Amino acid sequence: MSATLALTLVTAACGTADASNPDGSTFTLGYFPNLTHAPAFVGVEDGTLDDALGEHVDLETQTFNGGPDAINALFSGEIDAAFLGPNPAVNGWHQSEGEALQIISGAATQGTGLVVRDDIETVDDLPGSTLATPQLGGTQDVALRWFAEERGWDVDTAGGGAISVMPRENPETLDAYRNGDIDGAWLPEPHLSMLLEEDDSHLLVHEPDLWPETDGQYVTTNLVVGQEYLNQYPDTVQDFLRGHVETVDGINDDPERARETANAHLDDISGGRLEDEQADAAIENITFTVDPAGPSLETGAERAAEIDLLEPVDLNGIYALDPLNDVLAEEGREPVDGLEG
């Protein structure tokens, strides 16, 4: 089943957020237990995002394993906004015919790649292997399937083909690797660094190398908001963006403090924290930025279409960056661009 089909069942629910939050007194944010979502970890944990919303709007949160689940929650009105990978954001835009969501900021670029067993020495050794991704149709899933397609390898969504791609939740991937059920995985941080710590593993594909047209920069996490919420409560969205900009700046200004705060939050939401060395390696592998890296979003959508996980889609209008640029202008900073420049 394609990733686009996985979203079809919930598109009819678009626009129901108003029923669960009629007065705008809550702002419900979704995010994943990945360090590419560290702006959510840090901003929630240290109270920056809650403070930015003010005393009349309560911040609530939900966590998800992958993008398609978060998109479904956004469609059904369970959440108002989400930190989200590019492919699920594009899928949600496409399936709702441009009516359900918009990207209002970047959050992170880079921080992903393919880790495999040491006996898979080169890319040419991959055929016959079993590899994991976080979720069918998610950003890393598309990256791996496109990588295989570029090499002429047939890969299907049922786990067949030259390589077997078996989506599974990130917390299960390390155990599956140790048990010999998989030979590697295309992962985001911190799971990438965690798998690299296994004695018989190495990084086979450093994903920035696959993006020469953008000098190695590609979006891994954007901040999206439901269009209905944005239209009804633009001031709340802009307040949240002030907190988001402050959080991203804080991560870049003090990575050590960010690591401690993110690790504490990861412990809260997953029941486990990273070793300091793991967290440092993961954060160093990610660029945190409010710039949405628009050109890479378009390229990613084209790649998803090439592997039949998305129909060709017109992304004109997917960005709503005026609220963010207003916040940046308040601080005398340069605006960011989407696709239109």
Hey, what domains does the chain have and what are their CATH numbers?
3-110+217-330 (3.40.190.10), 112-214 (3.40.190.10)
At 201, the pLDDT band (50, 70, 90 cuts) reads: very high
Predicted local distance difference test score (pLDDT) of residue 24: 83
Predicted local distance difference test score (pLDDT) of residue 137: 83
Predicted local distance difference test score (pLDDT) of residue 340: 64
Q: Is the pLDDT reported for residue 58 higher than 70?
A: yes
Q: What percent of the chain has pLDDT over 70?
A: 93
Q: Which two tokens stand for residue 134?
A: 């976080």
Q: Is the pLDDT reported for residue 14 higher than 60?
A: no
Q: Is the pLDDT reported for residue 9 higher than 80?
A: no
Predicted local distance difference test score (pLDDT) of residue 309: 86
Q: Is the pLDDT reported for residue 306 higher than 50?
A: yes
Predicted local distance difference test score (pLDDT) of residue 232: 96
Q: Is the pLDDT reported for residue 6 higher than 80?
A: no
Secondary structure string (H, E, C) spanning the chain:
CCHHHHHHCCHHHCCCHHHHCCCCCEEEEEECCCHHHHHHHHHHHCCHHHHHHCCCCEEEEEECCCHHHHHHHHHHCCCCEEEECHHHHHHHHHHCCCCCEEEEEEEEEECEEEEEECCCCCHHHCCCCEEECCCCCCHHHHHHHHHHHHCCCCECCCCCECCEECCCCHHHHHHHHHCCCCCEEEEECCHHHHHHCCCCEEEEEEHHHHCHHHCCCCEEEEEEEEHHHHHHCHHHHHHHHHHHHHHHHHHHHCHHHHHHHHHHHHHHHHCCCCCHHHHHHHHHCEEECCCCCHHHHHHHHHHHHHCCCCCCCCCCCCECCHHHHHHHHHCCCCCCCCCCC
Q: Is the pLDDT reported for residue 29 higher than 90?
A: yes
Q: Is the pLDDT reported for residue 22 higher than 80?
A: no
Q: Is the pLDDT reported for residue 236 higher than 60?
A: yes
Q: Report the distance separating Cα 85 and Cα 32, nearest Å.
A: 10
Predicted local distance difference test score (pLDDT) of residue 20: 55
Predicted local distance difference test score (pLDDT) of residue 240: 98
Check residues 278 and 18 and name the one with the higher pLDDT: 278
- Provide mean pLDDT across the span 13-38: 76
pLDDT in tens, 128-181: 999 999 988 888 999 999 999 999 999 999 999 999 999 998 889 999 999 999
Check residues 19 and 222 and name the one with the higher pLDDT: 222
pLDDT in tens, 83-101: 999 988 999 999 999 999 9
